[in-house]
Chain A
Amino acid sequence: MEDSVTDADNDVPAGEAADDAIQPFSDLSDDGHDDVTVMDGNVFLRAARSASSGVEAFPARPVCPESGARDMQAIRLGPEAVLHSYSTVHVSATRAVPYTLGYIDFPSGTRALAQVRADAGTLRCDLPVNLCADDAGTWWVEPKESAA
């Protein structure tokens, strides 16, 4: 059986190598409330960065979306970001309306879709925003000048 294909590391035949690396990702295991962490009153998003490529991703994930490397390390994003664009949504089959969404850009260049809370008429593109969260783990952004 010298020609049989085996795992390079431990000589386990591929047909028997049901190891940790081949297990499915449990990426539906939370409801998004684990996305946020609070330190010294500042709110951060839990994200990830590839040790080899430096590519960041939010939400955190196990594989680098640019290189495929399995070397993602936990990082935090926030508490400050910039609102790239936004819209108040008036139709939804699944949630109460209206609600406001926006794309926020962190200083590192990583972008996230966020819920936005602000007084009517106060939003504009490129507005500085701060991350906010409640005790239940729900997070959103507010214009920097009105954030606590």
Chain B
Amino acid sequence: MSTDMGTIIGAGMIPMGKHRASSYPGLAVPAVQQALRSAGLSPSDVQSVVCGHAFGGMLTGQRIVKDIGIGGVPVLNVDNACSGGASALHLAARDIAEGRADVALAIGVDKLTQFGGGTLPLVEEDPEVQRGMVMPALYAMRAQRYLHERNETPELLARVSVKARRHGVANPFAQFRKETTVEEVLASRPIAEPLTLLQCCPTGDGAAAVVLVSEKKRREMGTAGAAIRASVLHSGKATTGFRNMLTPEITYHSAADAYEAAGIGAGDIDVVELHDAFTIAELVYYEALGLCARGESAALLRDGATSYGGRVVVNPSGGLLAKGHPVGASGVAQAVEVFWHLTGQAGRRQVEGARRALTHVTGGGISGMDHGACTIHILEAVG
């Protein structure tokens, strides 16, 4: 019998966007309440809380849950850049697996409008940041290399945004809900060449929450849900030398471990939410997650294999490009999205018959690393 890492039986998310009038608790409490309500549980049932964020400041999790009467239980705050929320889910799954809790709450939240726009603030003491590194530039250099090695043009990159925006139209929680075209994407203003504005995830605020329960608790409740079959967290490996920018080692290794833990392969996955912070990322991650062979990501996208009607629907939510990317919220928001698909609650954007899902977020922005964190979860419909 495999380890019980918990089953998500309740989930909530606020619409991503610019919520300047909201505090961190103001963003997260509605998501937490929705998660508990949909799980059929009350705040007093929660035995463990983990809150992922990057910019919330001290005691973010406690500031949220104290407002709905949760107290006296362990509350852990975790920063892992963009992987903060998924790391919170990872730790909540550990609490279930190691018997510390039968009911655990994972929260992801961040408020990027507090910075007034522009690129994500990175750690200023990092030597590459001191030399001008910003996240769009890192992805842009990957894109430049991809176009060079694969003999492609920016038109391919733009197709990723077009797909993301098309998916986002059917998602009322998405920050952008309007379709776009290749021409419009390429004509938007340059951010870090070859990436244009519509190839970059937006600045925004958001929060999401999921309730995990042990299998014993789930059976008592007789509830359907999304069981966690793999929860993998990697830190990557720094190098001072050559790094293949099209081979994100941290995602390759995390994916291999996740598939092994779940006892399935990439071909068994019906729906994927992956870290498309910039268009190039989606193409590179198709290959790293094993959705196609190396060198075949362009064809996979062009063939429509990663949209509705294709072999595996990637980012039905619209992904970070359309749904939005409030950093620490994203990993949990991905879990909310696939929970809805695995339990038939995704509405107009439902991936029909979805039984297995994969979520993937990285966390980057320090020199010498592909990324500083990568979290992959594989979930399966149960009940």
Contact = CB atoms under 8 A, between A and B. Distances in A.
Bound pair: A and B? Answer: yes
Given A111-B242, A115-B132, A89 B137 contact: yes
B128 A113 contact: yes
Interface string B217-238: 0000000000000000000001
Given A84-B145, A101-B141, A91 B238 contact: no
Interface string B242-274: 110100000000000000000000000000000
A88 B141 CA distance: 9
B179 interface: no
A43 interface: no
Nearest to B149: A125
Contact of A93 (B119, B145, B242, B245): B119
Interface residues of A, number: 34
A65 interface: yes
Interface stretch (A3-11, A14-22, A56-64): A56-64
B219 to A, nearest CB: 48
B125 interface: yes
Q: Which bracket fits the contact residues of B?
A: 35 or more
Contacts, number: 100
Interface string A118-148: 0000001110000000000000000000000
B131 A101 contact: yes
Given A59-B127, A110-B240, A111-B241, A87 B140 contact: yes
Nearest 5 pairs of A and B residues by beta carbon:
A87-B140, A85-B141, A125-B148, A85-B145, A109-B241
Interface of B: 118-119, 121, 125, 127-128, 130-134, 136-137, 140-145, 148-149, 189-195, 238-243, 245, 367-368
Interface of A: 28, 31-32, 55-59, 65, 84-93, 95, 99, 101-103, 105, 109-111, 113-115, 124-126
12 contacts: A56-B241, A65-B240, A84-B245, A87-B137, A91-B118, A91-B119, A109-B242, A110-B241, A111-B240, A113-B133, A115-B131, A125-B149
